[in-house]
Amino acid sequence: MKIFKLPDLGEGLQEAEIVQWHVKAGDEVALDQPLVSVETAKAIVDIPAPYAGRIVKLYGAARDVAHVGAPLVAFEGGDDIDTGTVVGKVEIGQTMIAEAPAAATPLAHGIKAMPAVRALARKLDIDLTMVTPTGADGLITANDVQRAARILAEIGPQELLRGVRKVMAQSMTLAHAEVACATIMDDADIDAWPEGTSVMLRLIRALVVACRAEPSLNAWYDSQAVGRRLLKNVDLGIAVDTPDGLLVPVLRNVERRAPEELKTSLAKLIQDTRDRKVPPEDLRASTITLSNYGSIAGRYASPIVLPPTVAIVGAGRIMKEIVAVDDKPAVHRILPLSLTFDHRAVTGGEAGRFLAAMMADLQRP
Amino acid sequence: MAQITLVEAVNLALARAMADDPNVVVFGEDVGKDGGVFRATLGLLDKFGPERVLDTPLAENLLAGMAIGMAAEGLRPICEIQFSGFAYSTLDQMLNHAGRMRHRTQGRLSCPMVLRTPCGAGIHPPEHHSESPDAMFAHIPGIRVVYPSSPKRAYGLLLAAIRDPDPVVFLEPTRLYRLFKEDVIDNGEALALDACFTLREGTDITLVTWGAMVYETLQVADELGEQGIVAEVIDVATLKPIDFDTILASVAKTGRCVVVTEAPRHCSIASEIAATLAEQGLLTLLAPVQRVTAPDVVVPLARLEQHYLPGKPQITAAVRRALEFA
Amino acid sequence: MTTAATFQIDHLQFLDAHGKVVAPLPAFANDPAALIPLYQAMVLMRIYDAKAIALQRTGQIGTYASILGKEAVEAGVGAAMEKDDVLFCTYRENGVQIMRGVTMRELLLYWGGDERGSDFAGPRRDFPVCITIASQCLHAVGVAYAIKLRRQPRVAVCMCGDGATSKGDFYEGINAAGTWRLPVVFVVTNNQWAISVPRDAQTAAQTLAQKALAAGFEGVQVDGNDVVAVHHAMREALAKARSGGGPTLIEAVTYRLADHTTADDASRYRPPEEVAAAWKCEPVLRLRNYLSEALAWNKALEEELLRQCNEQVQAAAQAYLDMPPPPVEQMFSHLYATLPAAYAAQRAAILAAAAESTQ
């Protein structure tokens, strides 16, 4: 039931006498339909129905006094909104919640140190990863930090890497973090080479042959998209050792170039690199890299693959070795080869075939 | 100057306050003729008469509620709740009215009352007589909570509490009521509220405590001293508001802190101090703040009390943990 | 067997529900015109009450507890008190408070959520509205004690409801008042309802007045809708207290014609027929009928009174609406006599946050 109380009659009037009812219990009334006439101190007024509905009951008869705020008419139905409180207002929301179980977060194996010790390390400019903890359960103590500071003070100040060395540090960090390196090694028997053969030219030629045999090693790999591009041209990065550090200038389109032209270009490139005259665009966008570290020392190596390339060929120091020829020992010159590849993009089989192709070409006279 | 116990110091301060100010009125159960069950109000009835020293009906809410009414009219009421276990019902009047009166009338009415009650464990009484309600009262906005640990401080702090224009809950350590004596001069001088008392200076570790636990803590400090560990001992004294400056300065010096309370652990005042040290003194800490507390159980009857109340072994162990941390 | 004690509770009524005199009127009521100030007070507080409800419905004040139906209790009590007496009341005594000199603007400030509403400019010693049930009984005892100690001719008047008489604080208060013969009058407004709990579910005692007997002093029941009865009982009780005769408990029987508060819907627990029937006994009409019959009141006077009251209430409501909001500072400014240093940082942080949010 909805109880309709006598509304404010205005001007502070508190009650009125019921003159005549216009409806009775059981009637259906429309909104604003006059329910009753009442007489105030000032006038006779009609009280309209505040809503449409069916009358259940009337309170008071003709000549009775009706009071402002007192029950006047009861209407049927009416889901009166239950405030559900006697003080204030309790908000009613309609959202449903369905809590999902919280995902377990992986354990963080961090460095353990009290805040004061961390602050001390910051103040002394000590990297906590460099400090050996002596506290219980791997806790770094203030003494540990002090000790590390003393040691570093004795060793002398750090040299902050700049320029080429800094770039190398940064790019090798990235490469190491990302690339899934695998290396295969073998030896090429180059005893058949004529006098005066240019090692670099033969390496480059063999590399081009191998790229044709196994194009998947002359490619760019995109780890975000998990995709690769097989490249038609072979832009060869040449690892060059310079007084400033390692630089890798690029010889473009080596697959198309004549050996003589390649020889001069290579020599010039290396000299320009050492003189720091190579423009930036020629220091990037190689498709595969060659490192002839053997010209200094070293037999085999597993050099770092630089993304987005997927392979680096390493040539070791040429040496004379006893090899089996027709089941008999013979002394031949051999060229050790190392092929490091990004196993995310290149299979062992592909790498193997690439190396075999290189070796086959190198072993020709 | 007299050599008196803590409860005698309370008595002295009450007499002093009543002599100095005719508005001071003392009331409670058995405080008049009997001088209070612990004799804290001994002799006051004879000195000041039955209108100012009132034996009331048995009704703790009445005591706190009428103190509020009296204080609003400009009296300085001091009600005694016989045991802290019976003080819990006064939380309603203290929290809903005493702490609010000044604020909700915007200063028109105020509430300079003192509610005194003996509390703490250690006298092997029946149930409900060993309570530590310090944290419950300290949680109330608009009041002060004071908890002395010696006759001198009881005298000086009670005078301060009576003279303060705002409500004060004055907790008295029952166990220390007569445990030792001290020279107290009845000069009417109040000690500072809202201030810690540094009882021992030290460099190796800070021991923070209040009430009856000050006694054991000082003993531990002395024993540590013999082993070359110099502990600083701070008696917090005013539990609300707490003088954190003193505590923070001490921990900045020593780097290690043990907070000792006989109250149960959960939401104890020790927790408030530990949290504040973590918040404002984090970089000075060389070890986690140690809390020495009673466990979160119902205060056991006398037979198990010694396993419940923290004592010297627990305080010492906590000191060791803090020192050996790193 | 002998009788240890017997008791009798008198019920006072002078004007019946229609405003007819049914008992010899007390001296102050002999001249009907003397009742006009009471009538005026009752009409004013009813119009204020309606305005307060309207302000709540339009979101200008928060939850409000209406006094509809108990105007005679309020006027009867308010008119009897002296200026220096002290009032303790619930949240349903705005009428008495108005008579005591609390402004309607101050009352609306309180309901609107501003502590300045309790900083009464008028009755400086009256206690603020007490929401917690019956706790004011103990405050009244404390004030009465102070009055007695200082030998002052003042009385504490403690108003509470029927529900309050079930509370420990009530019993502790009347007990202490009786024990010490304090200058306090307890006025229990029995409006039959404690939210949804009817009077007969509140206590088995036949009357609420008789609870005074358990505390050792006199209890009297009056028709709370008869302002003459209320006022008479109050005058007697105050005179007794003022002259050292100790406390009295007056049970004023009336009916809560409105919901418990503006958030409550009483039709959930009581039949509208009961409310309609109770309206027939309401106090304002009753008194108007008496005054009109006695030729002390007429339509013109009624219109003029309504006009004046409306004006006053409107002005007060406007004054309230025109008040700037309370400063955020208000949370700290009277927390203690002097804010302890420990809270300076909290205060600063809150003020800073408030300043930022208004930018």
User: Regarding predicted confidence, which is higher, B302 or B44?
Assistant: B44
Cβ atoms of C14 and C23 closer than 8 Å: yes
> How buried is residue A107: exposed, middle or buried, by Cβ count under 10 Å (0-12/13-18/19+)?
exposed
Mean confidence (pLDDT) of chain C: 96
Query: What confidence score (pLDDT) does residue A35 get?
Result: 94
Q: Can you list the domains of chain A with their CATH numbers?
A: 2-75 (2.40.50.100), 112-155 (4.10.320.10), 164-362 (3.30.559.10)
Q: How far is CA A311 from CA A317, A340, A344, in A?
A: 20, 6, 11
Distance CA C320, CA C339 (A): 29
> How buried is residue C199: exposed, middle or buried, by Cβ count under 10 Å (0-12/13-18/19+)?
middle
Query: What confidence score (pLDDT) does residue B150 get?
Result: 97
Query: What confidence score (pLDDT) does residue B148 get?
Result: 98
Q: Which of C57, C124, C269, C343 is labelled catalytic?
A: C269
Cβ atoms of A317 and A338 closer than 8 Å: no
Number of CB pairs < 8 Å for A and C? 69
Would you give the distance in Å from CA C258 to the centre of its chain?
Answer: 15
Say whether residue A91 is in contact with chain C using an 8 A CB cutoff: no
Query: What confidence score (pLDDT) does residue B127 get?
Result: 80
Query: What confidence score (pLDDT) does residue A136 get?
Result: 83
Note if B129 is an active site residue: yes
Mean confidence (pLDDT) of chain B: 95
What is the rounded average pLDDT of the residues B194-221? 97
pLDDT tens, per residue, chain A with 365 residues? 888 988 888 777 888 999 999 999 999 999 889 999 999 877 888 999 988 899 999 999 999 989 888 889 999 876 667 778 888 888 888 888 888 777 766 666 678 888 888 989 999 999 998 899 998 888 999 999 999 999 988 888 778 888 889 888 998 998 888 999 999 999 999 999 999 899 999 999 999 999 999 999 999 999 888 999 999 999 999 999 988 888 999 999 999 999 999 999 999 999 999 999 999 889 989 999 999 999 889 999 998 999 999 999 999 999 999 999 999 999 999 999 999 999 999 999 999 999 999 999 999 99
Q: Tell the residue number behind the tokens 């109000």, with chain if given.
A: B41
Out of C145, C146, C342, whose CB is closest to B241? C342
Rg over alpha carbons for chain A, rounded to the nearest Å, is: 46
Contact residues, chain A, for B252 at CB < 8 Å: none
Query: What confidence score (pLDDT) does residue C61 get?
Result: 93
Whether the per-residue pLDDT at B167 is higher than 70: the answer is yes
For residue C182, the SS3 value is coil
Query: What confidence score (pLDDT) does residue A78 get?
Result: 66
Distance of residue C193 Cα from the nearest chain A Cα, in angstroms: 14
Say whether residue C276 is in contact with chain A using an 8 A CB cutoff: yes
Query: What confidence score (pLDDT) does residue A311 get?
Result: 97
Per CATH, which fold does C11-326 belong to? Answer: Rossmann fold (3.40.50)
CB-based contacts of A194: which residues, under 8 Å, 6+ apart? A365
Say whether residue A192 is in contact with chain B using an 8 A CB cutoff: no
Query: What confidence score (pLDDT) does residue A167 get?
Result: 86
Cβ contact A119–B287 (<8 Å): no
Q: Can you list the domains of chain B with their CATH numbers?
A: 2-184 (3.40.50.970), 197-324 (3.40.50.920)
Rg over alpha carbons for chain C, rounded to the nearest Å, is: 21
**Which chain C residue lies closest to B103 (C-alpha atoms)?**
C334
User: Which residue type, as a one-letter code, is found at position B44?
Assistant: L
Distance CA B212, CA B206 (A): 18
Query: What confidence score (pLDDT) does residue C148 get?
Result: 98
Which candidate, B130, B197, B198, places its Cα nearest to that of B157?
Answer: B197
Say whether residue B289 is in contact with chain A using an 8 A CB cutoff: no
Peptide bond into B241 cis (omega under 30): yes
Query: What confidence score (pLDDT) does residue A107 get?
Result: 62
Whether the per-residue pLDDT at B198 is higher than 70: the answer is yes
What is the rounded average pLDDT of the residues B227-251? 98
Percent of chain C with pLDDT over 90: 97
Query: What confidence score (pLDDT) does residue A92 get?
Result: 80
Least confident of A108-117, B103-112, C71-80, C269-278: A108-117
pLDDT in tens, A222-242: 988 899 999 999 999 999 998
Distance CA C102, CA C122 (A): 6
Query: What confidence score (pLDDT) does residue A39 get?
Result: 92
Least confident of A159-163, B65-69, C6-10, C188-192: A159-163
Q: Tell the residue number behind the tokens 């206590």, with chain if given.
A: C203
Distance CA B7, CA A304 (A): 83
